[in-house]
Chains A and B, each alone.
Chain A
Amino acid sequence: MIAILDYGSGNLRSAERAFATAGNEVVVTSDRTIALEAEGLVVPGVGAFAACMSGLNGVDGAAIVRERLAKERPTLGICIGMQIMFSHGTEHSDSAPHPGVGVWDGTVSLLAAPILPHMGWNTVEVDLDSILFKGIEAESFYFVHSYAAKSAVGKMQAWSTQGERFLAAVEDGYMSATQFHPEKSGAAGLALIKNWVGSL
């Protein structure tokens, strides 16, 4: 069973439908036990860094993610759900950056690009051993964001560019994340979801 964590952000219905195409049972939930026990947990996210962290903390999400990692249960972050896995984010911060879950050390900061948000389909530069991108290495994926992580973390990285090079995806044992939206990336996105679900 795949659990999609509902912490008050965005349209979870399309994520639910997209993950269901991989064949598993999918539930949208904010229930701690279900999120903890699910074979795979998806942390989606639409909105600003601090608002999403606040929503995540409202369902004890940071602790759930950490506990799952300790118990070697896979979790996938999407878009802001990737960003808040880092230790810090500078979105809408006047002074000190906002704290994130801190699975990875690093700061998510504004892209230095002439046009923002980075909105649309972009290609990625993929690690040869990638599980997520197997068979879809040359495809494009749908991005919509203005902030990103720019230093390597985890075991494998995928990179993309808008103004500057940034992390498009990370695979790090039981924690994976994509800056783009696989649930909105057509056939290539569904293939990536299937790759992740197949690895559980």
Chain B
Amino acid sequence: MTLSVRIIPCLDVTDGRVVKGVNFTDLVDAGDPVEMAALYNTEGADELTFLDISASVAGRETTLEVVRRTAEQVFIPLTVGGGIRSVEDVDRLLRAGADKISINTSALARPQLIAEIADRFGSQVLVLSVDARRARTDSGFEVTTHGGRQSAGVDAIAWVEQACVLGVGEILLNSMDADGTRAGYDIGMITAVRAVSKVPLIASGGAGSLEDFSAALDAGADALLAASVFHFGVHRIGDVKRYLGAHNYPVRAVPAQ
């Protein structure tokens, strides 16, 4: 009886479409979110993450509808992040069919929001998304906001420690330096966060080769998130799982077609 490592495709959604860029800029269209969610489910994705990067209220409403339609036909866990500022926002997303929500900027602005969400819905629904990059802080890593464009003026490791005390159930660690580059996950950053956190850790940003996935697991990640390598067909979910399985990492078998 062994817990499998999770492979999680991430769909960045704006105005009802999946997009992907490099270092959070130069976005290109990658497809319909509901169709892609269903395809990834069929291919053996262990969870799905929707990141709403819409700038407008209308865009957010569209995402809510995307979540609703996806949850009606895909029976694996669905995490939704982006633009969540209150317990009411969380409630609305959970009612639409999200199983977990991820918060980032709003928690930095008001850390108590973590405790408020955890108290109402339980820690298990709450993923802290940490957009971090290498910088001259105490740990060598700082938190950024606004898709990596601004420094939050916060040390990444200190922030993770604080958030765990406040009650997050999981950490989604995005390397802003590695995002979209396919040059590998930031192994040093994963190791540093793993050392201070006892909640599950999802590595994100930089997945390129199959070896990159196993390297992140060796550094202490429990789950692996990737976007562009899946959206653009560099690897299929099954390729990653077969590679990891062949190297003795526990994976959930890809469902029979």
Contact in complex: B4, A140 (CB < 8 Å): yes
CA distance A116 to B170 in the complex (A): 9
| Also in contact, A140 and B252, with CB within 8 A (given A46-B122, A185-B75) | yes
Q: Contacting A114 at CB < 8 Å: which of B4, B6, B121, B198?
A: B198
CA distance A11 to B2 in the complex (A): 27
How far, in Å, is B189 (CB) from chain A's closest CB?
18
Q: Contacting A119 at CB < 8 Å: which of B97, B98, B200, B252?
A: B200
* A-B pairs, 4 with minimum CB distance: A161-B1, A121-B252, A140-B252, A121-B4
How far, in Å, is A157 (CB) from chain B's closest CB?
13
A159 neighbours in B (Cβ, 8 Å): 1
A18 at the binding interface (Cβ < 8 Å): yes
CA distance A183 to B76 in the complex (A): 8
B169 at the binding interface (Cβ < 8 Å): yes
A146 neighbours in B (Cβ, 8 Å): 123-124
Contact in complex: B122, A123 (CB < 8 Å): no
A14 at the binding interface (Cβ < 8 Å): yes
- Can you list 6 A-B contacts with CB-CB less than 8 angstroms, sorted by A residue number? A11-B99, A47-B122, A115-B222, A121-B4, A123-B2, A162-B3
Contact in complex: B255, A118 (CB < 8 Å): no
- Give 18 new A-B contacts, CB below 8 A, not counting A116-B199, A144-B77, A185-B75: A13-B95, A46-B121, A46-B124, A114-B198, A117-B170, A117-B199, A120-B4, A120-B222, A120-B223, A122-B1, A122-B4, A123-B2, A159-B1, A161-B1, A184-B75, A186-B41, A186-B255, A187-B255
How far, in Å, is A118 (CB) from chain B's closest CB?
7
Question: Which residues of A does B touch, CB under 8 Å?
Answer: 10-11, 13-14, 17-18, 46-48, 114-125, 140, 142-146, 159-162, 165, 181, 183-187, 189-190
Nearest B-chain residue to A13, judged by Cβ: B97
**Chain B interface mostly helix, strand, loop or mixed?**
loop
Q: Contacting A115 at CB < 8 Å: which of B2, B76, B99, B200?
A: B200
Nearest B-chain residue to A79, judged by Cβ: B124
Contact in complex: B46, A11 (CB < 8 Å): no
From residue 198 to 251 of chain B, which have CB atoms closer than 8 A to chain A? 198-200, 222-223
B35 at the binding interface (Cβ < 8 Å): no
Q: Contacting B75 at CB < 8 Å: which of A18, A115, A121?
A: A18
Interface centre among A13, A144, A190 (most CB of B within 10 A): A144
**Chain A interface mostly helix, strand, loop or mixed?**
mixed
CA distance A160 to B125 in the complex (A): 22
B72 neighbours in A (Cβ, 8 Å): 13, 17
How far, in Å, is B121 (CB) from chain A's closest CB?
7
B34 neighbours in A (Cβ, 8 Å): none
Contact in complex: B3, A121 (CB < 8 Å): yes
> What interface size band does chain B fall in?
20 to 34
A48 neighbours in B (Cβ, 8 Å): 122
Nearest A-chain residue to B194, judged by Cβ: A115
Contact in complex: A144, B1 (CB < 8 Å): no
How far, in Å, is A162 (CB) from chain B's closest CB?
6
B121 neighbours in A (Cβ, 8 Å): 10, 46-47
CA distance A121 to B2 in the complex (A): 9
B71 at the binding interface (Cβ < 8 Å): yes
B94 at the binding interface (Cβ < 8 Å): yes
Nearest B-chain residue to A165, judged by Cβ: B1
How far, in Å, is A170 (CB) from chain B's closest CB?
16
Contact in complex: B1, A124 (CB < 8 Å): yes
Contact in complex: A10, B1 (CB < 8 Å): no
B98 neighbours in A (Cβ, 8 Å): 11
| Also in contact, A14 and B97, with CB within 8 A (given A46-B122, A115-B222) | yes
CA distance A48 to B5 in the complex (A): 26
How far, in Å, is A51 (CB) from chain B's closest CB?
8
Contact in complex: A118, B76 (CB < 8 Å): no
B169 neighbours in A (Cβ, 8 Å): 117, 119
A187 neighbours in B (Cβ, 8 Å): 255
A161 neighbours in B (Cβ, 8 Å): 1-2
From residue 58 to 102 of chain B, which have CB atoms closer than 8 A to chain A? 71-72, 75-77, 94-99
